Amino acid sequence: MDLDFELRPPQAPAGPLLAVEDLHVEFRTRDGVVNAVNGVSWEVHAGETFALLGESGSGKSVSAQAVMGILDTPPAYVTRGAVKFAGEDVLAMPEQRRRRLRGQRIAMVFQDALTALNPTFTVGWQIAEMLRIHRGSTRSEARRRAVELLDRVHIPAAADRLSDYPHEFSGGMRQRVMIAMALALDPAVLIADEPTTALDVTVQAQILELLADLQAEQQMALVLITHDLGVVAEVADRIAVMYAGRIVETAPAARLFRQPAHPYTEGLLASVPRVSSQGGPLEPIGGAPPNLARIPPGCAFHPRCGYRRPVCRAEEPPLYRVGPDRGSACHFYQEVLDDRG
């Protein structure tokens, strides 16, 4: 099997560039098994922005880490499912082949740039190291490319900043450095895990604009993981909403914001502050997300749901098809749609 397949530009697949199929991930701890991801399926095409949306602990980041193959085993185990890049199952690859795929064809921008970057090496050294190892670049070639990458993500005086350490950059600039590292090997898929967390609104807008520009320039597939509805509304083409390790709704972004088809999505949208209701009370979702080691039977959202009936406690709903490119894991999705119609 050719271990250098990722060094050649892949042929554009007829279907999705990256597809996750029936993915299950569990954490085996002393206190029991934590079911972090429970049968998740999603896909993203070249040039598309796909968003995974949900509260903290819903399984978004774990599913992305499973795609990248960076979960610590133990305690994390992928127990079922497939992750297909250009039609080939990444989870079934030998580790050496998978390691070469990671970074070169699928790259990831992590949530906390300060902890993701090595504090003992300069940012120039960290970017250049990837180029030397994966591309066989000389030191001078790698340095020149590192300057180009920092300039590409709008780091002022890029050549002068190569010798700076991560702590010498602001939060927004560190995030730009992380994006530069992720782009160093020209990946086909970029996974951005909460890329605007802890950044002020102005810097958030700059980072989102940068990602959109880079995606349009390279026709990358962008997977955006976030709990921020504002971020999703700004950039996403399609959205999958996660709750308790499952996808409970999928839809094109504009349609989901206009008319959600799941009570959880409806609750998320209702809890967002609006200028028109300034001074009025917020509408939070009652209760709290379930303990993933003890997920309730039936629909996991039923303890917090205003639409619940006895069937919700007894039967886990499938992801019903509710329209073109739309799905809802709710027995009473039509009531939700009618209420927002």
- 3-class SS at 61? helix
pLDDT over 60 (residue 6): no
Residue 52's CB: how many other CB atoms inside 10 A?
Answer: 27
CA distance 150 to 156: 8
Q: Are strands 18-29 and 320-323 parallel, antiparallel or unpaired?
A: unpaired
pLDDT over 50 (residue 12): no
The phi and psi torsions of 82 (rounded to 5 degrees) equal -140, 150
CA distance 103 to 186: 9
CA distance 64 to 190: 11
pLDDT in tens, 82-94: 999 999 999 999 9
pLDDT over 60 (residue 7): no
Reading the block at residue 199, the tokens are 């950044």
The phi and psi torsions of 266 (rounded to 5 degrees) equal -60, -45
Residues in the chain: 341
CA distance 204 to 154: 14
Reading the block at residue 295, the tokens are 């997920």
pLDDT of residue 202: 83
pLDDT of residue 279: 64
Q: Higher model confidence: residue 10 or residue 155?
A: 155
pLDDT mean over 9-35: 83
pLDDT in tens, 25-64: 999 999 899 999 999 999 999 999 999 999 888 999 999 9
Q: Mean pLDDT for the chain? A: 89
pLDDT in tens, 71-114: 999 999 999 999 999 999 999 999 888 888 888 899 999 888 88
Block residue for tokens 């303890």: 303
pLDDT mean over 154-178: 93
CB-based burial label for 204 (10 Å; 0-12, 13-18, 19+) = buried
The phi and psi torsions of 302 (rounded to 5 degrees) equal -60, -30
pLDDT over 50 (residue 5): no
pLDDT of residue 197: 76
Alpha helices in the chain (DSSP H): 60-68, 95-101, 113-116, 123-135, 139-152, 158-161, 171-183, 201-218, 229-235, 253-258, 263-270, 310-314, 333-340
Amino acid at the residue 96 = Q
In this prediction, residue 275 has a pLDDT band, given cuts at 50, 70 and 90, of low
Q: Higher model confidence: residue 337 or residue 341?
A: 337
pLDDT of residue 85: 94
In this prediction, residue 171 has a pLDDT band, given cuts at 50, 70 and 90, of confident
pLDDT mean over 274-288: 76
- The mean-pLDDT minimum among 129-133, 275-279, 334-338 falls in 275-279
- 3-class SS at 23? strand
- The mean-pLDDT minimum among 24-28, 130-134, 221-225, 333-337 falls in 130-134
Pick from 183, 139, 176: which is nearest to 161 by CA?
176
pLDDT mean over 291-307: 95
In this prediction, residue 4 has a pLDDT band, given cuts at 50, 70 and 90, of very low
CA distance 262 to 151: 43
pLDDT of residue 114: 82
